[in-house]
């Protein structure tokens, strides 16, 4: 089978995972990234076993594990600190891997190091602009600096505001979900955690939303405190102002803490404005295609489907997208992409739809507007058996998709 070079737009988690996964299928690629240096935003994320399985297959698990904080469950408490629920995020005994709190920049660093080891070319400071042409021979595109690129196929791993998407799907705007997360980090030593107090924890109030407290670093020496805020969409200037207003974010995190346990008050009083980070939640409307008609231009990761953050799966699904795309590419040649890749999308979309349902249930737990009654309904009634999510047999899964 003839494998041809793939151009990847974006050196985020999806682009780098894709380059390494394609390399495992003996498919060469070149990654183009608009930033002049590796991306370093967003703080720590929780990586679950489905992604760690892929990280392991790519040969970087041990390194990533050594820089993260392993944990197996998210704990839920009411505002009086009474525990009421747990939500599994990993289990070595059940799924082969724990959940792992790890900085995104660590993941990027390890993926980049492995790319370097495999001689995968990554070109920084190169902004993709638009596709010029697509034919059976391949794809031609233009960079913002006016230069032109050519490859047998191209994958947009260029994030939520993807430019590749406009070629594949026509204009489609990411939708702001009227929620953002505001977080800040504090040294764990500043918080007098009761003995055996299980972390990460979400502490819920009827009227003041919820605080998430989650440890970072292998020794748990850093604690991130996060709260979601309902907010209207802003224009560009408005967002700029809001993101720059770190003092305002600290103030928001400090509001209403009188209704929460002492550890929340201790944590928020130790916050410094420099440690604040903000994550506005956007979602890309569901799209009927992730691949162009000719089959030679595709998109994946946040470009194709921003997953609601309350599922904790945005980054995790990015790993699945990239790895399964490469498995599929390993089994077909350039001429069959237009018929094979829609099967990949259907299979991926089914998992994402199931996740979105899960995320809606998680949101109902975390935001005050959902009300205590709704919260009570959720507790104990939802089947949170996570095997389907955390232990997918990806190789078998793509065989099923290909046979469909
Ligand atoms: C602040 C923050 C916190 C988060 N926390 C979590 C979490 O706790 N758990 C979780 O699961 N997920 C989390 N996420 C979501 C998760 O990080 C994303 O789902 C994931 O990183 C998406 O990866 P991606 O590679 O598809 O896109 P991105 O990470 O957005 O990467 C896209 C890359 O493409 C580059 N690019 C864009 N346009 C062009 C262009 N025209 N030409 C060349 N390059 C281009 C960008 O510079 C970037 O490097 C968080 C996201 C943010 C922003």
Domain with CATH 3.30.9.30 in the chain: 175-282
35 pocket-lining for ligand 1 (C-beta < 6 Å): yes
Residue with more model confidence, 37 or 23: 23
Asked whether 344 and 328 are in contact (CB, 8 A), the reply is yes
Q: How many Å apart are CA 4 and CA 297, to the nearest integer?
A: 13
C-alpha R_g of the chain: 21
Give pLDDT, residue 363.
63
Q: Is 279 exposed, middle or buried (0-12, 13-18, 19+ CB in 10 A)?
A: middle
Task: Indicate the pLDDT class of residue 156, thresholds 50, 70 and 90.
Answer: very high
Q: Residues 259-310: pLDDT tens digits?
A: 899 999 999 999 999 999 988 888 888 999 999 999 999 999 999 987 877 7
Q: Whose CA is nearest to atom 16 of ligand 1?
A: 315
Closest atom of ligand 1 to 158 CA is 34
Residue ranges of the chain assigned to CATH 3.50.50.60: 6-54+107-174+285-403
Given a contact cutoff of 8 angstroms between Cβ atoms, the answer to whether 231 and 282 are in contact is: no
pLDDT digits (tens, 9 = 90+) for 46-75: 999 999 999 999 999 999 999 999 999 989
108: pLDDT strictly greater than 90: yes
pLDDT value, residue 349: 95
In short, whether 320's Cβ falls inside 6 Å of ligand 1 is no
| Centre of ligand 1 from the C-alpha of residue 256, in Å | 31
Whole-number percent of the chain with pLDDT over 90: 71
Which pLDDT score, from 0 to 100, does residue 372 have?
A: 43
Q: How far is the CA of 13 from the centre of ligand 1 (A)?
A: 7
On whether the pTM is more than 0.75, the answer is yes
Taking the centre of ligand 1 as the mean of its atom positions, its distance from the CA of residue 1, in whole angstroms, is: 33
What contacts 24+ positions apart, CB below 8 Å, involve 128-134?
128/9, 128/32, 128/34, 128/156, 128/158, 128/163, 128/164, 129/163, 130/163, 130/166, 130/167, 131/164, 131/167, 131/297, 134/292, 134/294, 134/296, 134/297
The count of residues in the chain is 404
E strands, 217-269, in order: 222-230
Query: Domain 6-54+107-174+285-403 maps to which CATH number in 2.40.110.10, 3.50.50.60, 3.40.190.10, 3.30.70.20?
Result: 3.50.50.60
For 356-366, write each residue's pLDDT tens digit: 887 777 666 55
DSSP 302: G
Class of the CATH-defined domain 175-282: alpha beta
The Cβ of residue 272 has, within 10 Å, a number of other Cβ atoms equal to: 11
Q: Are 9 and 128 in contact (CB under 8 A)?
A: yes
The answer to whether the CB of 224 is under 6 A from ligand 1 is: no
């Amino acid at each position: 089978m003839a494998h041809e070079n793939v151009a990847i737009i974006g050196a985020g988690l999806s682009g780098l995972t894709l380059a390494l996964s394609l390399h495992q299928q003996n498919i060469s690629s070149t990654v183009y990234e608009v930033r002049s240096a590796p991306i370093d935003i967003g703080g720590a994320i929780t990586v679950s076993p489905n992604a760690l399985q892929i990280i392991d297959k790519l040969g970087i698990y041990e390194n990533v594990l050594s820089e993260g904080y392993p944990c197996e469950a998210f704990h839920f408490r009411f505002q009086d600190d009474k525990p009421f629920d747990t939500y599994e995020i990993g289990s070595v005994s059940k799924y082969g891997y724990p959940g792992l709190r790890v900085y995104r920049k660590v993941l990027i660093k390890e993926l980049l190091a492995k790319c370097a080891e495999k001689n995968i070319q990554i070109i920084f400071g190169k902004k993709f602009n638009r596709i010029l042409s697509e034919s059976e021979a391949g794809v031609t595109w233009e960079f913002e600096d006016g230069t032109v690129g050519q490859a047998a196929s191209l994958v947009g791993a260029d994030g939520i505001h993807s430019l590749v998407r406009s070629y594949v799907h026509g204009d489609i705007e990411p939708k702001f979900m009227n929620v953002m997360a505001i977080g800040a980090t504090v040294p764990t030593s500043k918080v007098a955690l009761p003995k055996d107090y299980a972390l990460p924890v979400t502490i819920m109030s009827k009227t003041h939303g919820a605080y998430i407290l989650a440890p970072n670093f292998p020794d748990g020496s850093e604690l991130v405190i996060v709260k979601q805020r309902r907010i209207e969409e802003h224009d560009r200037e408005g967002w700029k102002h809001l993101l720059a207003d770190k003092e305002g974010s600290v103030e928001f995190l400090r509001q209403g803490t009188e209704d929460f346990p002492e550890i929340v008050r201790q944590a928020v009083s130790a916050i410094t404005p420099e440690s604040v980070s903000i994550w506005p939640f956007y979602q890309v409307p569901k799209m009927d295609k992730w691949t162009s008609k000719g089959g030679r231009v595709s998109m994946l990761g946040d470009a194709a489907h921003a997953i609601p953050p309350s599922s904790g799966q945005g980054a995790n699904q990015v790993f699945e997208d990239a790895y399964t795309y490469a498995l599929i590419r390993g089994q077909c040649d350039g001429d069959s992409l237009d018929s094979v890749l829609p099967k990949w999308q259907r299979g991926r979309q089914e998992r994402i739809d199931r996740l979105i349902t899960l995320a809606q249930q998680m949101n109902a737990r975390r935001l005050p507007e959902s009300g205590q009654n709704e919260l009570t309904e959720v507790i104990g009634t939802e089947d949170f058996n996570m095997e389907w999510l955390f232990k997918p047999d990806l190789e078998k899964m793509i065989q099923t998709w290909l046979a469909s």
